[in-house]
Structure formats: C-alpha cells, structure tokens
Amino acid sequence: MLEPRLLSTILLLWILLVWRSDPLLPAAESAIGVNWGTVSFHKLRPSTVVDLLKDNRIPKVKLFEAEADVLVALRGTGIQVMVGIPNEMLSMLGSSPSAADLWVRQNVSAYIGKNGADIRYIAVGNEPFLTSYNGQFQNFVMPAILNLQQSLVKANLAGYVKLVVPCNADAYESSLPSQGAFRPELTQIMTQLVQFLNSNGSPFVVNIYPFLSLYDNGDFPQDYAFFEGTTHPVTDGPNVYTNAFDGNYDTLLAALSKLGYGQMPIVIGEIGWPSDGAIGANITAARVFNQGLITHILGNKGTPLRPNVPPMDVYIFSLLDEGAKSTLPGNFERHWGIFSFDGQAKYPLNLGLGNKVLKNAKNVQYLPSRWCVANPSSDLTNVANHMRLACSVADCTTLNYGGSCNEIGEKGNISYAFNSYYQLQMQDSRSCNFDGLGMVTSRDPSVGDCRFLVGVTDKGSDSSGSQIAHRWVFHGPLTSEFVRSRTN
C-alpha cells in the first residue's frame, strides 16, 4: 500500500497532467449531423423526416427555430438536437429576463426530459455578426446569452443544455491562416463570447462554405474548394493547405489563439454544396464535395494547426431542399439538400454512419401523377406575364442560367413554370388555366436531369403549420392581384 505522502504526490502529478493536456479538445471521433430547415412549399410530415433521419442513422440535427411539431416528432428518438433562435428575437430576449424564461420554458423545458427531445444546444441567433447585417444584431447577442443562461439555471438545465452562437466565416479574416484574426469591430464582443463559451463548456460554432468563396470570386481556384488535391496550394510557413476548408478552419484557430483560446473545441454548424441553381452547383459537384468532406473529417487528420483533432461535430447543410427560401443570395439557396424536398436521395453518399448509401424517405404521400404543361395548340405569344406571375409565387430557380432545367427550350420553360404553380396549388384544376394556355397531362414532362415535380399531400399530416396545408383557392386566371395577396 502506498504511503500517504507518495499517494498525494502521484495524485497532484495526475491532476497537473490532466490540467495541462488540452482538456477542451474533443477526444471522441467527430459526429456527422445535418441541418433540417423547413422553409418549403412542399413540407414532409415531421414524423416522415424523423424516420428518414433514423433510417440513415443520423445522430444529430440542427434546427433553425423551435418548431413544436418538429420537436414533438423528435421525442424519444435519441437524436441530439440543436434548436435555434432567430436573430430578430435577440433584442427581446436580451432586454427581458422574463422573456428568456418564457422562451426556455416553452421551447426547451416543454420537450426535454424522459422520452423527450434530446436538446443539447441552443443556437442564439444565426450568423448575427454577418457583415451584410451592418451590426444590426451585434449588441444583442451577449445580453441574450446571459439572460438565457440564467433561464437555463432556473430550469435546472444549464449543466445539460449549452448555449452557442453560429458564426459565419466572415467574422474573421486573413491572407494566410496563421495570421487569422476576428474583424476589428468584433474583437471586444468575440472576447466576451469565447470567455462565456469557455466558462460554460460550450464549443465555438462556425459555418464554412467553400462554394460561396468560389461563387463570389471568379479568381478563386475551383479545385481548392474540394478535397481531391489542388494545383493551387496555399503555403503558410511550414504548413501547406490543399483545400479551402482546412485553410478557413485554421484561420479561425489563429483568431481564437489571439484571444487566448486556441484550444477551444469547434463545431461546424453548416457546410455543404448546392446541387442546382447556379454554375458550379450541380449533382456531381455536390456529391464530390460532401463525400470528400465526410472522408476528410472521419479520417481524423485534423488540420495543420490542429493535427489529428477534427471538429467536434459537423452539421451538413442541408438535409432537404427548401423551395420557399429567399433567392437573394442566389438561386442555389433552394438546392442545398442531400435529399430533394420529398426525401429522395439526390446522389450516392456514404455518411460514415453505417449505411454505404443514403436511404430514401418512406411512405411519402404524393398528389396524383398529373402535371400542368403549355397547351401545344395555343398561341403562346402573350405567355410571358403568366410565367412571371407563376414564378413569383412558385419555385422556378432551376430555369435560370446554370440550372438543371435551363436548356429545355421555350415551351419546356413555360411548362415548368406552369407546373410548379399547379403543384403548389395542390393540383387545383383552375390553377392550370392561364387564360387557356395551360393543360393538365398524365404524361411526365421531365427531361433528362430536369425533373418536373409532383407535390406531396398534407393528408394525414402531423404538421399543423405545414405550408402545403394551405389550399390557395382562387377563381379565374392567375392575376397580379392574386400574386400580391400571397406574397405580402
């Protein structure tokens, strides 16, 4: 038996060893999760999507809002959840402790617990420091976090549910990764944020998009955006970067190091590649990028500044296409999903979770196999206004330059626009009128990679807030007055 003095010495040495051994760095392998957005005209039942997650063994999901039907569907599944708070709510939550208490009570406490939703993180805002916001939300972040933390303490959840702030990669900058630093105007608030994250055991969450670097910069080397090697490596002292992800990640590490938190664990909140809607956004590129990313992450290689230590978690953006999202950033915004809107896999992808390929959603309830197309016997001279109005309501982004339906010809374009609107109207026969220019057909007009969709039905839906549940009935041809009433 060891002498007490020797035992004390050994214990002290062990404590010092543990304390000095980068305790914040994750020891386990990275987990692959997905972002589940619901801004869609054709929403699947949440229970269908949850079954899709389970069939593909996806262990973690990130939500952008606390939607009741989604959280109910996630109960008892064991899937870990990050639930989001929109930027527009930060001011209220930061100025009112009672509002923060209410939010936690309604959106976390109500769902968590035995056989409940396994909520692990609350994302306070979504990229609130984005340059294009011009500081609009910047000063609300820390007050909201502090109030929400106190609310979690009151609810006895602070030890289990962690607060994070998903940041866009434009929060930091540098010409070389090792020189990375947060934007000067963010230095003070970032210091406060990482101090809070560190003291509460929370990771730093960052969204990294090599696609956007390529899309926004014509001089950006295309192969550097992927993981297959590059003819344009970036040399930074002894380190050589062969892909944009590693370079971006290490730029963040350098920025955190400048604040004294170089060992902080990092979660990739969003990363992915769109499959349509722009040049460079296609099925092949999306598959190559996402598979390369997963292989890279699960290989546990880490990055030059943090070798052999990959991010804690990586949430692919995204699970499903969201056809009702704003196209302000680009038409590709509606096409990030690894699955199409109806839960069908777009391409083979091994998530490293046990299945070699993606499994499709089951028991999806479609509308009848009917499409609205341009009537071949009609004079289409005056069709432009009808097309414009249809596409102002429905999703026609695949018709644009670089889209999968861009080369199907004039009549094909007209038919696609008509059908998109017709499906959105739950195949109401009157919605295929277009002053006699449209007609309903049972023959699938899809051409090559251009898919003419059939909508999903809300029959038996467990989503009371589903957008597709709204049957937009109108009389007569499509008019500008009708469109304005739907888009206000």
Return the biggest CA–CA distance within the chain.
Answer: 100
Residues 6+ apart with CB under 8 A from 229: 223, 242
CB 37 within 8 A of CB 320: yes
Exposure of 21 by Cβ count < 10 A (0-12 exposed, 13-18 middle, 19+ buried)? exposed
Classify residue 118 by its DSSP letter: E
Q: How far apart are CA 203 and CA 194, in angstroms?
A: 9
Written as six digits, the tokens of 373 are 């197309």
Terminal C-alpha separation, the chain:
79
For the record, the structure tokens of 172 come out as: 């930091």
Residue type, 317: F
Instruction: Please tell me the distance from the alpha carbon of residue 187 to that of residue 259, in angstroms, as a whole number.
Output: 8
Q: Which residues are catalytic?
A: 127, 270
- In our burial notation (b when 16+ CB lie closer than 10 A, e otherwise), range 110-131 reads ebbeeebbbbbbbbbbbbbbbe
Using omega within 30 degrees of 0 as the cis cutoff, is the peptide bond preceding 485 cis?
Answer: no
* Tokens at 151, concatenated: 């609310």
Strands 172-173 and 181-182: antiparallel
Which two structure tokens, joined as six digits, stand for 362?
A: 């089951």
Hey, what are 371's tokens? Answer: 């499409």
Neighbours of 10 (CB within 10 A): 11
DSSP at 108: I
- Name the 3-class secondary structure at 159: coil
Are 478 and 421 contacting, i.e. CB atoms less than 8 angstroms apart? yes
What are the tokens at 20? 């000095």
Q: Would you give the DSSP letter of residue 354?
A: S
Pairwise CA distance, residues 71 & 106, whole Å:
11
